[in-house]
Structure 1
Amino acid sequence: MQQILSQISLSGHDLTTMGLDLFLGLFILVLMRWAYSLWVRIDFREELARKDNFALGISIAGALLSIAMLITAVVSSFTMMAYQQMAIKLISYGLVGILLIKVGRVAHDRLVLSRFNKHDQIMQGNISIAFVDAAGAIAMALIVSSVLRWTRSIDINGLIAIASGFVVALTMILLTTRAVEHHYAANNQNDDMQDALVRGQFALAVRHAGQILGVSIAVSAGEHIIQYQPQAYVNNLLSWLLVATVLTITSVVLTLIAKRIVLFGINLVREVDHQHNVGIASIEMILSIGMAMLLRGVVSV
């Protein structure tokens, strides 16, 4: 037993730091839940427990996971700081993360999925809309977290870099969504993909969620390619846009090849768009995410 314990390299300081991080992380998640209820002005118990609004639960789950990812990135950036300084930084960036989630959701609603009222759809129980909404929140958190790890600093320059990554995330999600909408219209007699989501086409939502998450994972690999220059604000933003574009295109191409191989002989338009085959859509989602993870793994070597 003594030999086993000797292999575990955890000091009292390490355990205290871990405990503080976990406590503050839980505190920020609770704060996120409280802030969310203020934003949407709803009674959580009424909607989730009594009305069984699954769509709202999915949307909230996406928001909570996104803020948890941001907190994780923050914690990993300053584990060697003093307790007080660590607590201040974690809470500060937690609040910044909550603000980014709010801004991201508003921007996503106004720019990306702008042809319907997302809040109304979720409150009406539209699971398809909620699924895409949750994926969008997680996607932006993935990219912002990667930018935070890339900066390795908690200062004004780091905040500007995070904002740049946030802009890149929205841009890539917007472009991806518009390309998918164009493809959907071309194969469905000019039907609107957003209208299909409003009608509750869950298979389409599953596939699109995978596309958004795949793009975000691929773009997040930019942290391993781009050299961080604290005060080169414009160059940092343009570098992320350039690298994000290349990585997005590469990820999409890899996904298309994977679908051709894995789903050989299956008419994806008929199965997903027309027959609402959630099983096929789930495979498409996993292939989008899997190819992006493969690309990120190759880039990070």
Structure 2
Amino acid sequence: MSYLSLSNTSLLAIAICFMVICLAVICLRVVSQLKAKQALKEELAQHDNFALGISFASEISVVIATVAFLFDEISISAAQSNPLKMIVLIVLLFTFIKVGHLIHRKWILHRFNEEAAILKQNVCAALVDSGMLIANCIITLGLYSWSHTQGFSSLLIAFVSFFLLQTIFALDSKFREYRFARANQGASLQSNFNLENTSIGIRYAGKSIGLALAIYAGLASATFHSGKMVENLFTLALHCGTMWLLLYLLTTIIKFISLPNIDTELEIDHQDNIGIACIEFAVFSAIGYLLISMFSI
């Protein structure tokens, strides 16, 4: 009787997947060292830069998750028969994730230099940046699952849809900034990131990841119309917009039940209450996953 069900094909898939991950992580380490302008070992181990460690950890997790997702979507036989397609897909996925990350840094939070703040050991900045990186990874993988890009027309639809989803992120961020300013006498959320309030970073990351999961649910519930740009954009706007509203509705109810008579804005914005921030992170992430479970086709 055989208790180990791993086949030679499975072992080969694991080996290839792991080799790709190792190569990507090596490239990532080199890029991180260039950004830090010194050896990564010195910055992490000698200077104890927790912020850079958080940022680097999120990048590693995104690399591994992306490659693992792709190898799960495409069979090993298909990868062996057309390795060029695999390489192109990996490059495209990482390109989309990086572009989304840059949009977040340069447009959505254009008044806050996350990269410089991370090098100055700002943990809040690292949490904000890592949250959006993971969020962009989630929506990129969701876009691939939705469109299963096979040709130029599908790629073009995915490209335009990606920017539509970034617009949702931008609107959500503006909404968060508006709520923060209203609760804090007109103070700027982006300026407060520089104050190294860790709980604000945790909350922001949680809401970003929760929104990304909600958008993934919207993508998973939407039908892809091959070659039809307008229909796809309208479908995505409707589905993802609905999930966005459901995310905030359900999280508001859960927070009201779990945190009665607690002013979460006061606790997080002024008292740096990491416990409350972690609860918000958990609620948004869990509700986002709930939407995926409930609405995926």
Normalising to structure 2: TM-score of the pair?
Answer: 0.91
Cα distance in structure 2, aligned partners of 1:14 and 1:158: 30
> Shift of the alpha carbon at 1:223?
3.0
> Is residue 147–residue 161 contact of structure 1 (8 Å, CA) maintained in 2?
no
More deviation, 196-205/98-107? 98-107
Partner of 2:42: 46
Partner residue of 2:94 out of 91, 98, 112: 98
Identify the residue that residue 260 of structure 1 maps to in structure 2. Answer: 256
Give the letter aligned to residue 171 of structure 2: L
Alpha-carbon offset, residue 31 of structure 1: 2.5
Kindly provide the CA deviation profile for residues 46-94 of structure 1, in whole angstroms up to 9, marking residues without a partner as x.
3222222111121122222223332223212221534534543333222
| Inter-CA distance 158–25: structure 2 relative to 1 (3 Å threshold) | farther
Matched AA of 2:285: I
The 5 Å alignment of 1:28-177 reads 28-38=24-34, 41-85=37-81, 87-177=83-173
1:160-239 pair list within 5 angstroms: 160-239=156-235
Q: CA deviation at 1:205?
A: 1.2
Quick check: 2:125–2:193 contact (8 Å CA) kept in 1?
A: yes
* Residue identity matched to 2:53: G
Measure, in 1, the Cα distance between the counterparts of 2:153 and 2:74: 16
Cα separation, partners in 2 of 1:42 and 1:246, compared to 1, 3 Å:
farther
Aligned residue for 2:3, secondary structure, equals helix
Aligned length: 297
SS of 1:100's equivalent?
A: helix
Q: CA deviation at 1:247?
A: 0.5
Superposed CA offset, 1:257-289 (max 9, x none): 110010011121221112111101111111111
2:142–2:220 contact (8 Å) kept in structure 1:
no
Instruction: Sort the Cα spacing of 1:194 and 1:182 in 2 relative to 1 into closer, same or farther, 3 A.
Output: same
1:198-235 CA distance string (max 9 Å, x none): 11111111111111111100110123321112322343
Contact 1:89/1:154 (8 A) holds in 2: no
Q: How much is the aligned-residue C-alpha RMSD, in angstroms?
A: 2.2
Q: Residue 226 of structure 1 contacts residue 239 of structure 1 at CA under 8 Å; is this kept in 2?
A: yes
Q: Take 2:278 and 2:20, find their aligned partners in 1: how far apart are those partners?
A: 35
The TM-score normalised by the length of structure 1 is 0.90
Aligned to 1:4: 3
Counterparts of 1:39 and 1:92, CA distance in 2: 26
Partner of 2:288 in structure 1? 292
Contact 1:74-1:148 within 8 A present in 2 as well = no
Aligned to 1:16: 12
Measure the CA separation in 1 of the matches of 2:61 and 2:206: 16
Residues of 1 paired with 2:189 and 2:73: CA distance?
40
Structure 1's consecutive aligned runs of 4 or more residues displaced over 6 angstroms after TM superposition are none
What are the ranges of 5 or more consecutive residues in structure 2 without an aligned counterpart?
A: none
Q: Give the direction of change, closer, same or farther, for the CA distance of 1:101–1:175 in structure 2 (3 Å limit).
A: same
Distance 2:59 2:79 in 1: 27
Matched-pair contact (CA < 8 Å) for 2:267–2:276: yes
Q: Secondary structure at the match of 1:96?
A: helix
Does the 8 Å contact 1:144/1:162 carry over to 2? no
Offset at residue 104 of structure 1 (A) = 2.1
Q: Decide whether aligned partners of structure 1 residues 72 and 156 sit closer, same or farther in structure 2, where only a CA change above 3 A counts.
A: farther
Q: Distance in 1 between matches of 2:35 and 2:88?
A: 20
Identity %: 27
Report if aligned partners of 2:79, 2:85 keep a CA contact under 8 Å in 1: no
Tell me the CA shift for residue 291 of structure 1: 1.4
Q: Distance in 2 between matches of 1:298 and 1:247?
A: 11
Q: Which shifted more, 139-148 or 24-33?
A: 24-33
Letter in 2 for 1:238: F
Deviation digits for residues 22-56 of structure 1 (CA, Å, limit 9, x no counterpart) = 22232223233334444665532232222221111
Residues 119-128 or 105-114, more deviating: 105-114
When structure 1 is superposed on structure 2, of 262-271 and 86-95 the one drifting more is 86-95
Cα gap change, 1:169 to 1:35, in 2 (>3 Å): farther
